[in-house]
Amino acid sequence: MSATVPPVEQAQATVKRRWPIGVELQPGGAHARVWVPKAARVDLVTEPDGRATALAGEGNGYFSGLVPGLEAGGLYRFRLDGKDTLYPDPMSRFQPEGPHGPSQLVDPHRFAWTDRDWRGRAIRGQVIYEMHIGTFTREGTWEAAIRQLPALADLGVTVLEVMPVSEFPGRFGWGYDGVNLFAPTRLYGDSDAMRRFVDEAHRLDLAVILDVVYNHFGPDGNYLKCFSDDYFTDRYENEWGEAINFDGPDAGPVREFFLSNAAFWIEEYHLDGLRLDATQSIHDGSERRGEPHILTEISCTVRKAAGGRATILVGENEPQHASMVRSAEEGGCGLCAIWNDDLHHSAMVALTGRTEAYYTDYRGTPQEFVSAMKYGFLYQGQWYRWQGKRRGMPAFDVPRAAFVTFLQNHDQIANSARGLRLHALTSPGRLRAMTALMLLGPGTPMLFQGQEFASDSPFLYFADHVPELAALVEKGRAEFLAQFPSVAAPAMRSRLPEPHAEETFTRCKLDHREREAKPGIWSLHRDLLRLRREDRVFAAPRVGGLDGAVLGEEAFVLRFFGEGGDGDHPGDRLLLVNLGRDLPLPALPEPLLAPRPDADGGGAWTVLWSSEEPVYGGCGTAPVEQPDGTWRLPGHAALVLGPATGVREKSDGAGGNTTPVIAVSDGTEP
């Protein structure tokens, strides 16, 4: 190994850096800056030649200096206090050999972006698609994923939510055990491959947000404690690992690290926002000192980094704290949207009949769906038996678009033990009807990869770890699923897939040929999203423009109020959902079913869309309104009704009430 080069004494003022930490290209080499309060001496060692450059201490735990000759593509690590062990850069932009190998210097400016006119997307009006790059295609790469993007754009998706991609150990995994937060994993391609994915998505008018994990680090390959113990704290409990120190001694550089990461993805990868994992485990008591919560600072940082582009910040928050989506001025964190687990749980009970574990406090009744559509969360402070405490907080004033609604996501599919998709757990008619509710409802709908064509691929929990850790992960996964009595039973527990088995991972890969083999379910999603996008009532929901009512044991109606019923106004829409048997309604004492009168004083409804259309695999739709004025709702179906045209009133023959009838083309009455 060659001799160590003395510290560079050049004034820091002559160095132009973008980020407060990391290694950045400079004329003739690079400049390094790293926070290492545990060390008295820090060297940057290039590989494979072993040349070491000593960094100068700044007196505040930071070390920095110029590294002559280190160019883009060069490999390096840090040596602390002259010891033999070498460590990757905490802000490494790429780890070509995985988290235990050397870091690679990346030139973030060499990629030729073509999205100069892209202005981003705000949350309202969006349709999110959650995807895992490693299983989205057989190849499991960014390049292969790019080839499928036109189909998603045609489907009606507008935002791609990519599961975590920060470098993690092993050959496969979900990504939530990442350890190099600034380095997209080598498993899916190099850093420019990810940029090409984002650039092509923007060309197709698709926004891209990234799922990031700011509540813990993975258990293998995390070297941050070698640089400073203050990255972590034992003041808070965290079910996923050591809690991050956002508010204790020396928390300043830790906050700087995560705020830099949030801005980094927006600037260097042109991402359109972030999805923040398990925000309930991001503990920060800074507000008690009159300082902003770290999530509030992340929100501000992302928007500033976007430089005028619209951004989307989505939070996962199991206790459903509505404060996540309130502004800082209102005491909130400033996120744009939050996952609505309540609605998912109620839908699962209605579709499958199962009420185990965290489904215990849901009944899947029509009233739950009406309330969820009107108010977002079902639990807004009531007692929650499953957890033995109150759940949620008031959210009546939260815009409906701030609630992300879904029937499937990565967690919930995997929590079925066998990783079964929802179409394998319920009847086709019920699933089509519930899909209509989710895609036409006022929340922001989210699909999980393959849902749009009822993929037969399961989605299981998979994580490739070293043997000792793999055994612990397998045991922990089984214990988690044991909250479901049916899974805890010996017959099922013995059949749980091994998370570390390669077969568990490969079984989850999508086969996009199924899209052509199952055109009905694909057409269902595409037509519903077109209706959501193009129908003037669904596309432009009014504040306070939604109401609903229970019509039967498993049936309900939602009324979407338009701006009128004549001229250029679209009138109202009814969404009728019946998850039970055919429902006759001999009497209609429900004002939400009443049509608006037209210019001639009449009024009636007509079916605009039906989940039972044969093209979707349905069995056809009979008229809802019968000749005698009574209604009949088809079972396991959803219908969209709109104002009928050419309606006039017909006397009942006794000088009493009149019945609206629809005139046919020859002028006769039906």
Active site residues: 277, 316
Sign of CA dihedral 301, 284, 461, 521: negative
| β-bridge pairing 180-184 and 166-167 | antiparallel
Closest CA to 584 of 545, 640, 623, 615: 623
Task: Assign residue 48 a region (left: φ > 0; alpha: ψ between -120 and 50; beta: otherwise).
Answer: alpha
Q: Which amino acid is at 369?
A: F
> Which residue, 332, 327, 329, 324, is CA-closest to 341?
324
Q: Are 210 and 162 in contact (CB under 8 A)?
A: yes
Q: Residue 657 in 3-state DSSP?
A: coil
Nearest-angstrom CA–CA distance, 356 and 150 = 39
**Sequence-ordered strand ranges (E) for 303-411:** 312-315, 337-339, 383-384, 389-390, 403-406
- Measured distance CA(461)–CA(500) in Å, rounded: 9
Question: How many Cα neighbours within 13 Å face the side chain of 370?
Answer: 20
Residue 583's CB is within 10 A of a number of other CB atoms, namely 17
Long-range CB pairs of 487-490, under 8 A, 24+ apart, other chains included: 487/417
State the Cα–Cα distance between residues 605 and 82, nearest whole angstrom: 81
Any long-range contacts for 324-330 (C-beta under 8 Å, 24+ apart)?
A: 324/279, 324/295, 325/398, 325/402, 326/398, 328/292, 328/296, 328/299, 328/300
SS3 4: coil
Alpha-carbon distance of 81 to 63, in angstroms, equals 12
Contacts of 117 (CB under 8 A, 6+ apart): none
Residue among 447, 413, 438 at smallest CA distance from 155:
447
Of 462, 458, 449, give the one whose Cα is nearest residue 421: 458
**Nearest of 20, 426, 63 to residue 253 by alpha carbon:** 20
Whole-number Å distance between alpha carbons of 639 and 610: 5
DSSP string, 301-327: HHHHHHTT-B-EEEE--TT--GGGGS-
Q: Provide Rg for the chain, Cα atoms.
A: 28
Evaluate whether 359 touches 346 at the Cβ level (below 8 Å): no
Q: Residue 441 and residue 459: Cα distance in Å, rounded? A: 26
Phi, psi of 518 (to 5 degrees): -125, 65
